[in-house]
Amino acid sequence: MAFGVIIIGDEILSGRRTDKHLQKVIELLTARGLSLAWAEYIGDEPERITATLRRSFASGDIVFSTGGIGATPDDHTRQCAAAALDVPLELHPEAAELIRERIRDMHPAGSPHPVDLNLPENQHRLNMGVFPRGASIIPNGYNKIPGFSVGDHHFMPGFPVMAWPMIEWVLDTKYADLHHQTPHAERSLFVFELPESTLTPLMEKIEADFPGVRVFSLPSVGDAERGGVFARRHIDLGVKGEPEAVAAAFVKLREGVHLLGGDIVEADTLQGKPA
């Protein structure tokens, strides 16, 4: 089962806000020995959100979706998820009770007036607990307003302070059996004075000789901020996959670069610093 993330919101695509979810999801998965297979950004367009969700539901992947589950006119994710599944929307009883608790919590202390749950604004708040039929809730420790899950799709607000603990809860509650299931390693080196075109045959041979090992190549025109040798043009060249195979493939990769006349600085891929 692959992991994917869908990040929804016009504010991300317009630049009004900078996305922070992608890097955090990668971090949360990596800490559990998991990895992200794909990510998509979508604006607040119901047709596009529905089409994307219909496709991702059919994929069988584990998907986190952030944004658009509120109750304002620009929030469409709940409705689109129901449309993608061809099921009705329903007020989830547990979500409704949590929302009512939140309304009570927000009532001014010492107010002479009791909480009126039938006020129009309070009835409107219950829309945040209207989910596709068959959904289960994702607890929200920040303000009690839950997200929801349908199968292996998990929907949460766009606010990082809420979304990130909710993603952690899902990973540790629903997918603990997947944690650290597949050993994984990465080794890389920085190559100077060689173009990618010269390295490509070596990369292809490494992948052919070591099934299951993937080669990656990240060229840079030079990193002046980092300085030193890294101000020069270079390529972050490496291998990733099963640890034992990676160790053997890395030896062959390093030998191959030497034979091609490349100038090498080995790197610790976790720290991103020269070894």
Tens of pLDDT along 89-146?
999 999 999 999 999 998 888 888 888 889 999 999 999 999 999 999 999 999 999 9
Tell whether 70 and 203 lie within a shared domain: no
- Specify the pLDDT at position 220: 87
Tell whether 172 and 37 lie within a shared domain: yes
On the question of pLDDT at 271 being above 60, the answer is: no
127, 160, 178 - which closes a domain? 178
Tell whether 129 and 14 lie within a shared domain: yes
| DSSP string of 114-137, one letter each residue | ---TTSHHHHHHGGGGEEETT-EE
Q: How far is CA 19 from CA 66, 205, 207, 225, 263, in A?
A: 11, 37, 34, 23, 37
Tell whether 146 and 45 lie within a shared domain: yes
Q: Is the backbone of residue 234 left (phi > 0), alpha (psi -120 to 50) or beta?
A: beta
Tell whether 68 and 120 lie within a shared domain: yes
Average the pLDDT over 11-30 and give the result.
95
Pull the structure tokens for residue 30: 């990596």
Question: CA-based Rg of the chain, rounded to a whole angstrom?
Answer: 24
pTM over 0.85: no
CATH number of the domain enclosing 92: 3.40.980.10
Domain count, the chain: 2
Percent of the chain whose predicted confidence (pLDDT) is above 90: 78
Tell whether 144 and 80 lie within a shared domain: yes
Segments forming the whole domain that contains residue 139:
3-178
Tell whether 229 and 98 lie within a shared domain: no
What distance in Å separates the CA atoms of residue 25 and residue 41, rounded to the nearest whole number?
Answer: 14
- Specify the pLDDT at position 164: 97
The single-letter DSSP state of residue 212 is T
142, 157, 178 - which closes a domain? 178
First-to-last C-alpha distance (Å) of the chain: 34
Tell whether 35 and 140 lie within a shared domain: yes
Looking up tokens 């080995």 gives 266
- Specify the pLDDT at position 114: 87
What distance in Å separates the CA atoms of residue 176 and residue 157, rounded to the nearest whole number?
Answer: 23
Tell whether 197 and 74 lie within a shared domain: no
Q: How far is CA 184 from CA 89, 119, 173, 240, 243, in A?
A: 41, 55, 23, 7, 6
CATH number of the domain enclosing 261: 3.30.70.600
Tell whether 173 and 197 lie within a shared domain: no
pLDDT interval class at 266 (50, 70, 90): confident
> pLDDT digits over 63-99, tens only?
999 999 999 999 999 999 999 999 999 999 999 999 9
- Specify the pLDDT at position 182: 80
On the question of pLDDT at 275 being above 70, the answer is: no
Tell whether 14 and 136 lie within a shared domain: yes
What distance in Å separates the CA atoms of residue 98 and residue 148, rounded to the nearest whole number?
Answer: 13
Of 24, 2, 72, residue with least CA distance to 44: 72
pLDDT interval class at 269 (50, 70, 90): very low
- Specify the pLDDT at position 268: 55
Q: How far is CA 200 from CA 137, 195, 216, 222, in A?
A: 48, 9, 10, 20
Q: In the chain, count H helices and then E strands.
A: 9, 13
On the question of pLDDT at 273 being above 60, the answer is: no
